[in-house]
Amino acid sequence: MSSERSGRDQATAQAAFTRGVKLLHDPVRNKGTAFTEAERDALGLRGLLPPRVQSQDLQVMRVMGNVRNKSSDLERYIALISLQDRNETLFYRVLVDHLDELMPIIYTPTVGKACQEFAHIFRRPRGLYICADDKGRMADVLRNWPHPDPRIIVVTDGERILGLGDLGADGMGIPIGKLSLYTACAGIHPTWCLPITLDVGTENETLLADPLYIGVQRRRLRGAPYDELIEEFVTAVQSVFRHTIVQFEDFANINAFRLLAKYRDRICTFDDDIQGTGAVALAGLLSALRISGGRIGERNVLFFGAGEAGIGIADMMVAEMVDQGLSETVARGRCWFMDSKGLVVESRTDLAPHKRPYAHAHGFTRDLLAAVQALRPVAIIGVSGVPASFTRPVIDAMAACNERPIIFALSNPTSKAECTAEQAYTWTEGRAVFASGSPFAPVEYRGRSHVPGQGNNAYIFPGVGLGVIACESQRVTDEMFSAAARALAQEVSAADLETGRIFPAFARIRDVSVRIATAVAEVAYRRGLARVPRPDDLPAYVRALMFEPRYENLT
Ligand code: NAI
């Protein structure tokens, strides 16, 4: 890749052909009031802008003033997306400089609300929409994408958007938001990022009846026609683009597991809901165990929810336990699941294939409290999308069998969390080690500040993507996610653990992403998957690839 032009070089070269109003309307190259006097003369901008040239820092100040003045987070989301549509460099500067404050706006929880309102707040299209009627011409649709060499596609069919269910084509907010995080957190150039919605219909009655809905008002395609569509999509991506990661995002679990199994050895792909969640939760658990004491695999872990997230986390934990010397059977035996019907046990005949490896010999119960009392887990991990399911008696039972109970309420958005940070800390008298999916503010309890961890996949996937892109890996493997999880856990300091923090401060994410990307690329080199020679200084090479959202001179 070093011999090729980076996304930034492409953008600059393109600017040579774009002038005047067209340049002001080009979000990749626009600088707004920051165009210099020389650029205004050279690029036909004189008079098209207010006369005073302003620095990017001043522009950032104006944007943040406006964003903070908005009356709701959804309004803030709209303001930021509008900025992204006008001036991407400024959008990313704002985001990188205020990640802690703006992450909850451009991603969960606000992005969930934005998807629910997507058709009603729709302003400008972004990304590609491919629908069932495009069968037979998908490669042509992909060729309409204006940037020649995307390196990462995030694609959804909108069936399981966060914990909000089927939002059809309105789920497009997720690929857009996720790719913004690739750029903000790991510096992947905006023109390398391609969000795609496969609109295969929806079962959401409200959307089917809504005249403003932006998708095809049809019921979901299922079975063989669905699979054929995905197959054509995957094949078209391979033929139209060079080396592109395809990240499947927010597919319902009936399809997510199947598609991952089908394509993981054929193309460069992963499923963040399964593998990314697995890695971030494993990193969180490794850090939490540094607080609570003990090693992974010594005691049971109980998952509440046996879908993509839960199984993804358990698979990653099993890999880690095996790495530490346990047999796979013993390792699986440490992971217990409850789904909507109750405890996942051997005697059940209604289990989907992905749950069977975790169905153990044990009496059946429908009741989470009874399961906690029987299994005495070191950790409970909520990935059910069922709010308030970690009730006081459940948390009390965890506190009764653990000095430092590990409680992860990972369901998104905030409204779906199994319990709140405050509940976890106050009900355990400050002893809980807590992490959530969506952010919670620190909690003061008896004079001590407890900082909840956010088990946010954004700690992992941007770095994984950067690592895969850097070495042009042919595949994305589970081993890479394990390496990413360990790299993330290593970034947590003793001082972090002191306040209960089990992930590094998010403000450090770009450095963390470099560490993760390096660890991921090392795996690719070790396994012979890389397509470019290993540079002498891999971390420096990775860092040099990162897009820094500063204006370049266009004259
Ligand atoms: P999924 O639909 O694949 O799985 C949901 C699981 O919850 C199913 O096994 C279902 O049987 C179970 N469930 C439903 N009702 C239940 C009940 N009353 N009692 C026990 N189990 C019940 O969904 P997925 O992808 O696993 O996501 C689940 C949640 O985790 C969502 O809210 C999602 O936003 C969140 N999540 C959080 C992440 C993070 O924090 N990093 C990453 C990925 C997902």
pLDDT digits (tens, 9 = 90+) for 31-65: 999 999 999 999 999 999 999 999 999 999 999 99
178, 213, 425, 551: the active-site residue: 178
Q: What is the pLDDT of residues 464-510, one digit of tens each?
A: 999 999 999 999 999 999 999 999 999 999 999 998 999 999 999 99
Concerning whether 459 is annotated as a catalytic residue, the answer is: no
Q: How crowded is the C-beta side of 199, counted as CA atoms within 13 Å?
A: 17
CA atoms of 504 and 393, how far apart (whole Å): 31
Residue 213: both structure tokens together: 């809905």
CA dihedral 109, 112, 114, 117 (to 10 degrees): -140
Handedness of CA 34, 39, 41, 46 (dihedral sign): negative
Cα 313 to ligand 1 centre (Å): 12
CA atoms of 63 and 61, how far apart (whole Å): 6
Round to whole Å and give the CA distance between 240 and 513.
29
Contacts of 41 (CB under 8 A, 6+ apart): none
Pick the closest to residue 462 from 251, 234, 179 (CA basis).
Answer: 179
Q: Pick the catalytic residue: 77, 92, 107, 129?
A: 107
Contact present, 439 and 453 (Cβ < 8 Å)? no
Q: Give the residue ranges of DSSP H helices in 326-413.
A: 328-333, 368-375, 392-401
Q: Environment class of residue 324 by beta-carbon count within 10 Å: exposed (0-12), middle (13-18) or buried (19+)?
A: exposed
List phi, psi (to 5°) of 48.
Answer: -85, -10
Separation of CA 93 and ligand 1 centre (Å): 34
Whose alpha carbon is nearest atom 40 of ligand 1? 437
Q: Is the pTM of this model over 0.75?
A: yes
Tokens of 143: 């060729």
Each residue's pLDDT tens digit, 287-322: 999 999 999 999 999 999 999 899 999 999 999 999
Q: How far is CA 277 from CA 180, 309, 386, 509, in A?
A: 18, 6, 18, 17
Token representation of residue 260: 């991952």
- Catalytic residue list contains 107: yes
Q: What is the sign, positive or negative, of the torsion defined by CA atoms of 87, 88, 94, 100? A: positive
For residue 9, pLDDT beyond 90: no
Residue 439 DSSP code: -
Report the chain's mean pLDDT, rounded to a whole number: 95
Q: How buried is residue 62: exposed, middle or buried, by Cβ count under 10 Å (0-12/13-18/19+)?
A: middle
Identify the pLDDT of residue 163: 85
Ligand 1, pocket-test mutation among 408, 412, 440, most atoms within 8 A of CB: 412
Question: 343-381 burial, b if ≥16 CB within 10 A, otherwise e?
Answer: bbbeeeeebeebbebbbbeeeeeeebeebbbbbebbbbb
**Cis peptide, bond prior to residue 211, ω within 30 of zero:** no
What is the distance of C-alpha 230 from the center of its chain?
21
Q: Is the predicted pLDDT of residue 2 greater than 50, yes or no?
A: no
Cα(256) to centroid(ligand 1), Å = 13
CA of 163 to the centre of ligand 1 (A): 7
Whether the upstream peptide bond of residue 148 has omega within 30° of 0, thus cis, is: no
Which domains are present in the chain?
Answer: 1-54 (1.20.1370.30), 55-267 (3.40.50.10380), 275-458 (3.40.50.720)
Quote the ligand 1 centre to 5 CA distance (angstroms): 41
DSSP-derived 3-state class of residue 343: strand
The residues lining ligand 1, judged by C-beta closer than 6 Å to any ligand atom, are 160, 162-163, 253, 273, 277, 280, 304-310, 338-340, 383-386, 410-412, 416, 437, 455-457
Classify residue 468 as exposed, middle or buried by CB count within 10 Å of its CB (0-12, 13-18, 19+). Answer: buried
Considering the chain, what percentage of its residues have pLDDT values greater than 70?
A: 97
Does residue 6 register a pLDDT over 90? no
